[in-house]
Amino acid sequence: MGFEDISRRGLVMLGCGKMGSAMLEGWLKRGLDPAAVHVIDPHPSDWLRAQGVSVNAALPDAPAVLMIAVKPQMMQAALPQVAGFGGGGTLVLSVAAGTPIAAYEAAFGAGTRVVRSMPNTPAAVGKGITAIIGNGAATAADLDTAESLLSAIGQVVRLETEDQIDAVTGVSGSGPAYIFYMIDALAAAGEAEGLPPALAMQLAKATVAGAGALAEQAGETPEQLRINVTSPNGTTQAGLGVLMDAGTGLMPLMRATVAAATRRSRELRG
Ligand SMILES: NC(=O)C1=CN([C@@H]2O[C@H](COP(=O)(O)OP(=O)(O)OC[C@H]3O[C@@H](n4cnc5c(N)ncnc54)[C@H](OP(=O)(O)O)[C@@H]3O)[C@@H](O)[C@H]2O)C=CC1
Ligand SMILES: O=C(O)[C@@H]1CCC=N1
């Protein structure tokens, strides 16, 4: 199913906040007809209202895709608004954390084609990464449709089992927040060493963005790129001596961070 088919049969979005808006922006840029998009959201943003999509109005009977982008805590209240799409040939595509495929099968009926996904917020600048997994009823074409919709906001990877999505959430779903915090920490450390705040923040942001771009584009591994920065007995070696301490350094801290987020993703299944 391509954008032409979705433009013909319609796409319904349940919830259009940060993640929904990032996806919608990507689809519209790629040529999805705004008239084919029907959004349900209690407080539509001014941006959303300006996109020419239908907002809180009549819905098509059997849209090609139902995109679920509400918070997991809102799911129970939100799903009944679209329960009628069960069995209608609509592909259910979810970006919600925590809510398992089985919850959608229960809501829409067994045999409903479901693709569950986990994106992240760099989606807002087309630099997201989204992991997807389909249920037994989802066809290869459904996974292609999901991949084509989600590739509007960045890379897409396919999972082998649904339970992998908890660790994906811990790594890449929540991961941008860890990196934003690292930027703050790097800037604060620069300030503590006497730099003006704005300069420290500019250095920290550019360093993270530049290192990220280099890690993505270079043929070398992140480990080799780190070695390339590290002169024998130089400044980097002194800094890494702290950051790479086996007991108190980044490795055990990141291990505990991702474990906590992964555990919370499992808990959200309810
Ligand atoms: N933000 C992130 O980093 C990531 C988020 N996700 C997942 O994406 C989903 C959306 O997250 P995000 O976009 O950040 O959240 P937002 O709160 O920005 O968006 C959710 C939207 O759903 C609306 N909403 C609330 N109740 C209903 C309802 N009954 N019917 C229809 N819409 C409703 C909200 O309106 P209102 O604000 O008025 O309540 C809001 O506009 C979540 O499930 C989250 O787990 C996945 C990966 C990353
Ligand atoms: O914090 C959360 O629960 C969501 C899922 C991944 C990122 N944000």
Ligand closest in space to the Cα of 76: 1
Q: Look at residue 24 in the predicted model and tell me its pLDDT.
A: 94
- CA distances 55 to 44, 46, 59, 126, 203, Å, are 8, 11, 9, 24, 42
For helices 197-217 and 175-192, give the axis angle rounded to 10 degrees.
140
29 in a labelled binding site: no
28 and 149, same domain (yes or no): yes
Tell me whether residue 111 is in a domain: yes
Q: Check if 26 has its Cβ closer than 6 Å to any atom of ligand 1.
A: no
149 and 181, same domain (yes or no): no
Q: Look at residue 98 in the predicted model and tell me its pLDDT.
A: 86
Q: Check if 128 has its Cβ closer than 6 Å to any atom of ligand 2.
A: no
71 in a labelled binding site: yes
Q: Check if 47 has its Cβ closer than 6 Å to any atom of ligand 1.
A: no
Residue 202's CATH number: 1.10.3730.10
Stretches where the chain sits below pLDDT 70 are 1-2, 270
Tell me whether residue 170 is in a domain: no
70 in a labelled binding site: yes
158 and 185, same domain (yes or no): no
Q: Which atom of ligand 1 is nearest to the CA of 121?
A: 3
Residue 74's CATH number: 3.40.50.720
Contact 177/152 with Cβ under 8 angstroms? no
23 and 55, same domain (yes or no): yes
> In the numeric block, which tokens belong to residue 137?
């009823």
Final residue belonging to a domain, choices 165, 192, 225:
165
Q: Is 109 left (phi over 0), alpha (psi -120 to 50) or beta?
A: left
Q: Look at residue 230 in the predicted model and tell me its pLDDT.
A: 97
> In the numeric block, which tokens belong to residue 245?
């301490």
113 and 204, same domain (yes or no): no
16 and 87, same domain (yes or no): yes
Q: Check if 169 has its Cβ closer than 6 Å to any atom of ligand 1.
A: no
Tell me whether residue 99 is in a domain: yes
Q: Which atom of ligand 2 is nearest to the CA of 176?
A: 7
Tell me how far the alpha carbon of residue 74 lies from the centroid of ligand 1, in angstroms.
8
Final residue belonging to a domain, choices 100, 135, 165:
165
In the chain, the number of structural domains is 2
231 and 146, same domain (yes or no): no
Residue 200, domain extent: 175-268
136 and 232, same domain (yes or no): no
